[in-house]
Structure formats: structure tokens, C-alpha cells
């Protein structure tokens, strides 16, 4: 248990527990991220994505962004499109693309408008069937060119898989550079990061509201753990929980009306529900154990959490209104940081087995698989379509954000130079 309680300043595996026991506007990020996809999926759709017409004069390259998005999903692989320059107005020669092994083709253009905005247009074709699958256009300020490209990827993903794409969603994560901690909000590929908060004191446990408009997090700027709720668009924030002792591990309910939190106000570290507007919290259980890291089930009926009530940290589940808890993890003697997929089928968590490794459990069967070979994984968080997981780790001696498919076969590194990278949280679909 000592390690479980002590490591406040590094990995989240102990941060929430440690703060549960603790009693005593910035410029855009300059570091650029890159996506490095490794691994081979069992089923990948070959797609051709030639450079968009006009890309050479644009500050962003939509075709490259779309290709990286689709490859990161694990469901697509790029087909060589060299020597071809179609756009959304071109009627493609399907025989050419069939010969190159493409099942689909996406082509488009990017052009600056007279008012300084940029227009991104594209069209998608089913090469095998010879069908036009439609397209769209987006006219956006230069700052939103990446967002428009992510929306192109979302359209393609949904048309070809039947499921909603997540590329235009956002990530939150924390970096520590020198003695400075910064909470960032970024695109789903880690690019275009904007600072939400910068502090000389630790920032931990960012948690997105269900509508994606707010972030709850824990800040130590008052020299103790305090929970704030931050409006992402305006930058305004409000105090949510500053009770005696520690206030930590906020997690939104699916309806956005309340948050589960860990407080030590009444002794020990226990789970409480508190209104999203603040007020008096309601205690969910009374035990002598440390209970922390709560997360709601997608239907709001249950709360998963970490407790040492059995002697070592394990994941448990209780009714959202409080009541008897049932143990969920049985493989291994140290399991923490649960994250439940939005479809309710899977739980990602960190298990100490030859290091701290990301595991995925199928909740219906309890079957568990380790999906990484790294040993310092932390803070898993599901994409809103339940198909990918973002987590923090160390790879090659450097901190990194990673995404992985649920089987671990496709991993993408979002590597930056912004210092220690930790605490990623994947935001919901945007309205």
C-alpha cells in the first residue's frame, strides 16, 4: 500500500489516493505532436486519399490529417495515391483505383476565400461498387482548418463503418514542465492544444462534463486539493468542493447534474455525490477503507471505484445512490483507474503486473486482457464511440500520450515536447 499512497507528483495510479489523504491564461502550446501508428489490425479497409487540391498553399494539409485519423482508428490503411490529383469535382476512373487495391477514394480541395476564411470540400466514392457516397464542404477560419479536416475524417468513418467517428472530439491532459503544471485542451490527435489553466502547483484528474462544455479537475493552488469546474469556451471557473481535508477525483454523472467525488471531510477517504452547482455533498458509503477514483456506468445506475477494503487496491461497483459494493477485478493484487466504455461493454484499468500496464475487461464475462507491453501506463479514457482508448505512458524513456484499439493491435503515439504528459481524458461527442 505504501506506493499506492505516496506518489502524488508522478503517476495517477496513486494521485487520487494520495490526495484523498492529503490534509495540510496562457499561450497555445508550441510543441507539435506527431502520430506514429504501429501494429497491424485484423480487418483494415484500404482507402486512397490523394492530396487535396490547393493543399500546397494552405497552412494545414487536410488529406494528411484525414489519413492519420483513419489509420489511428485501426480500421483503415492508406493506398498509394501518388501520380493522381483528383478533387471533389472529378469523376474518378474506378478501374485505376481498383488496380491500386483501394476499396474507397476520398478527394477534395482547400481554398482561401476573400474574407480570409478557408473552404474545405471533399467527396467520397465506393470504388468496389462504383458509387458516389456524397461529400460536404466547410468554410472555417484558419484556426479551424484542423477541425474541418477531422470532420472530413468523421464523415468518411461513419459512411464506411456505420458508426460515428470521434476525430472532431477533444482531449484534456496535464503536462509538467519544470515546476509548472498546465491543463491543456486539444484535438483528438493531440494537436492544436490550448491552455485552460497553468499553475506552479499540481493539477490532476480532469473530467469532462457530458456535454463537453466543462471540465472538472483538482488543483493544489490553495496548497491542498480543491475541486473546480472550468467552462472550456470562456475560461471562467467556479469552486465546487473545498471542504475540510482533501477534495479529489471528480467524475460527472451521465446526466450532468451531479458529480461523484472523494472527500476526507468526515475522516478517512469516502465517496460522496455533490450537485454540479455545488452545495452539501451526500455520503455514499461508510467504511474504514480508502474509496476513490469513482466513475459512473453509462446508464448512471452504478459507480465503479477503487478501494483497499480487501487489503490492496481493487475495482468495485456500487449502486449510484449508495449501498453494498461488489468487487469487479480479481486478476492481480493491484488494480486501479477504472474507465467504462460509453457502450457499457468494457472497462479499461491499470494493473500492476510486471509494471503498471493497461488492461481491458469485458464486463459481461469478466475476461481480461493486457493490451500493452509498456510498464508505466496510467489514466485510461475511452473515446466516445468506445472503439479507442487514450492513456499516458513512458516509451523509450519519454512520456507520451497513446491511443490504442481495444485489442491493442493498433497504437498511435501522440508525442510532444511539453514535459511530463499525464492525466488524459477523452471528451464526448460535440453537438
Confidence category of residue 40, pLDDT binned at 50, 70, 90: low
Q: What is the mean pLDDT of residues 152-176?
A: 96
E strands in 49-114: 76-79, 104-112
Q: Report the C-alpha gap between 316 and 176 in whole angstroms.
A: 31
Neighbours of 98 (CB within 10 A): 14
- Pick from 29-33, 113-117, 197-201, 209-213: least confident: 29-33
Backbone angles phi, psi at 56, to 5 degrees: -60, -30
E strands in 23-117: 34-38, 45-48, 76-79, 104-112
- Please give the order of strands across the beta sheet that includes 104-112: 76-79, 45-48, 104-112, 118-126, 131-140
Q: What is the mean pLDDT of residues 231-258?
A: 97
Higher pLDDT, 35 or 187: 187
What phi-psi label fits residue 95: left (phi over 0), alpha (psi between -120 and 50 degrees) or beta? alpha
All residues at 6 or more sequence positions from 91 whose CB lies less than 8 Å from its CB, including other chains: none
Residue 30 confidence (pLDDT) above 50:
no
pTM of the model: 0.91
- Pick from 22-31, 115-124, 359-368: least confident: 22-31
Residue 28 confidence (pLDDT) above 80:
no
Q: Report the C-alpha gap between 401 and 158 in whole angstroms.
A: 25
Length of the chain: 431
Q: Report the C-alpha gap between 55 and 60 in whole angstroms.
A: 7
Q: Report the C-alpha gap between 425 and 147 in whole angstroms.
A: 19
Helix-, strand-, coil-residue percentages of the chain, each rounded to 5: 15, 45, 45
Would you state the pLDDT for residue 431?
A: 73
Q: Report the C-alpha gap between 7 and 2 in whole angstroms.
A: 9
Would you state the pLDDT for residue 43?
A: 72
From residue 257, alpha-carbon distances to 242, 275, 409 in Å are 19, 6, 37
- Please give the order of strands across the beta sheet that includes 226-231: 203-208, 214-219, 226-231, 237-241
Neighbours of 354 (CB within 10 A): 9
Q: What is the mean pLDDT of residues 166-191?
A: 94
Q: What angle do CA 56, 62, 64 make, to 5 degrees?
A: 90
* Contact of 401 with 173, CB cutoff 8 Å: yes
* Contact of 373 with 358, CB cutoff 8 Å: no
Confidence category of residue 21, pLDDT binned at 50, 70, 90: very low
- Please give the order of strands across the beta sheet that includes 368-370: 335-340, 346-352, 356-362, 368-370
The helix (run of H) or strand (run of E) holding residue 152 is helix 145-161
Would you state the pLDDT for residue 137?
A: 97
From residue 285, alpha-carbon distances to 18, 290, 294, 386 in Å are 19, 11, 13, 30
Residue 25 confidence (pLDDT) above 80:
no
pLDDT per position as a tens digit, 363-416 = 999 999 999 999 999 999 999 999 999 999 998 888 889 999 999 999 998 854
Would you state the pLDDT for residue 309?
A: 94
pLDDT per position as a tens digit, 246-268 = 999 999 999 999 999 999 999 88
Backbone angles phi, psi at 161, to 5 degrees: -115, -20
Confidence category of residue 39, pLDDT binned at 50, 70, 90: low
Place of cell 490503411: 77
Would you state the pLDDT for residue 48?
A: 97
Backbone angles phi, psi at 155, to 5 degrees: -60, -50
Residue 204 confidence (pLDDT) above 90:
yes
The helix (run of H) or strand (run of E) holding residue 2 is helix 2-6
Q: What is the mean pLDDT of residues 29-44?
A: 53
Q: What is the mean pLDDT of residues 158-170?
A: 97
Backbone angles phi, psi at 64, to 5 degrees: -70, -40
Q: Report the C-alpha gap between 62 and 137 in whole angstroms.
A: 12
Q: Report the C-alpha gap between 424 and 226 in whole angstroms.
A: 19
* Contact of 232 with 214, CB cutoff 8 Å: yes
Residue 118 confidence (pLDDT) above 50:
yes
Confidence category of residue 35, pLDDT binned at 50, 70, 90: low
Mean pLDDT rounded to a whole number for the chain: 90
Identify any residues that bridge with 282 across adjacent strands, giving them in sequence order: 273
Residue 281 confidence (pLDDT) above 50:
yes
Amino acid at each position: 500500500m505504501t506506493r499506492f499512497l505516496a506518489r502524488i507528483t508522478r503517476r495517477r495510479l496513486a494521485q487520487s489516493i494520495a490526495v484523498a489523504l492529503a490534509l495540510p491564461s496562457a499561450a497555445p502550446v508550441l510543441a507539435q505532436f506527431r502520430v506514429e501508428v504501429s501494429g497491424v489490425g485484423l480487418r483494415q479497409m484500404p482507402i486512397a486519399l490523394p492530396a487535396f487540391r490547393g493543399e500546397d498553399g494552405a497552412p494545414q494539409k487536410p488529406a494528411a490529417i484525414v489519413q492519420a485519423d483513419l489509420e489511428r482508428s485501426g480500421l483503415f490503411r492508406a493506398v498509394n495515391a501518388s501520380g493522381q490529383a483528383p478533387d471533389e469535382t472529378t469523376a474518378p476512373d474506378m478501374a485505376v483505383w481498383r488496380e491500386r487495391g483501394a476499396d474507397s477514394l476520398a478527394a477534395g480541395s482547400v481554398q482561401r476565400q476573400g474574407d480570409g476564411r478557408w473552404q474545405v470540400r471533399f467527396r467520397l466514392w465506393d470504388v468496389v461498387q462504383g458509387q458516389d457516397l456524397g461529400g460536404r464542404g466547410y468554410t472555417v477560419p484558419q484556426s479551424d482548418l484542423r477541425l474541418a479536416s477531422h470532420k472530413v475524417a468523421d464523415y468518411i468513418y461513419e459512411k464506411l463503418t456505420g458508426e460515428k467517428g470521434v476525430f472532431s472530439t477533444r482531449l484534456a491532459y496535464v503536462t509538467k514542465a519544470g515546476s509548472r503544471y498546465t491543463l491543456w485542451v486539444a484535438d483528438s490527435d493531440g494537436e492544436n492544444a490550448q491552455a485552460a489553466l497553468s499553475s506552479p502547483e499540481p493539477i490532476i484528474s480532469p473530467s469532462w462534463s457530458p456535454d463537453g462544455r466543462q471540465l472538472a479537475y483538482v488543483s493544489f493552488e490553495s496548497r491542498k486539493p480543491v475541486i473546480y469546474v472550468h467552462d472550456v469556451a470562456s475560461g471562467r471557473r467556479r469552486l465546487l468542493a473545498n471542504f475540510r481535508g482533501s477534495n479529489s477525483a471528480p467524475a460527472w454523472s451521465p446526466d450532468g447534474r451531479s458529480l461523484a467525488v472523494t472527500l476526507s471531510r468526515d475522516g478517512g477517504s469516502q465517496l460522496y455525490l455533490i450537485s454540479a452547482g455545488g452545495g452539501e455533498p451526500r455520503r455514499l458509503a461508510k467504511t474504514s477503507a480508502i474509496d476513490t477514483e469513482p466513475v459512473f456506468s453509462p446508464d448512471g445506475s452504478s459507480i465503479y471505484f477503487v478501494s483497499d477494503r480487501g487489503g490492496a487496491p481493487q475495482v468495485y461497483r456500487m449502486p449510484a445512490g449508495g449501498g453494498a459494493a461488489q468487487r469487479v477485478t480479481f486478476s492481480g493484487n493491484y488494480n486501479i483507474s477504472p474507465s467504462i466504455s460509453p457502450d457499457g461493454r468494457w472497462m479499461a484499468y491499470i494493473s500492476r503486473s510486471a509494471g503498471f500496464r493497461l488492461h481491458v475487461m469485458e464486463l459481461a464475462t469478466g475476461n481480461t486482457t493486457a493490451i500493452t507491453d509498456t510498464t508505466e501506463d496510467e489514466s485510461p479514457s475511452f473515446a466516445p464511440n468506445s472503439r479507442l482508448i487514450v492513456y499516458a505512458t513512458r516509451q523509450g524513456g519519454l512520456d507520451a500520450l497513446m491511443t490504442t484499439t481495444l485489442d491493442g493491435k493498433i497504437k498511435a503515439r501522440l508525442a510532444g515536447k511539453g514535459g511530463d504528459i499525464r492525466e488524459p481524458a477523452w471528451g464526448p461527442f460535440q453537438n
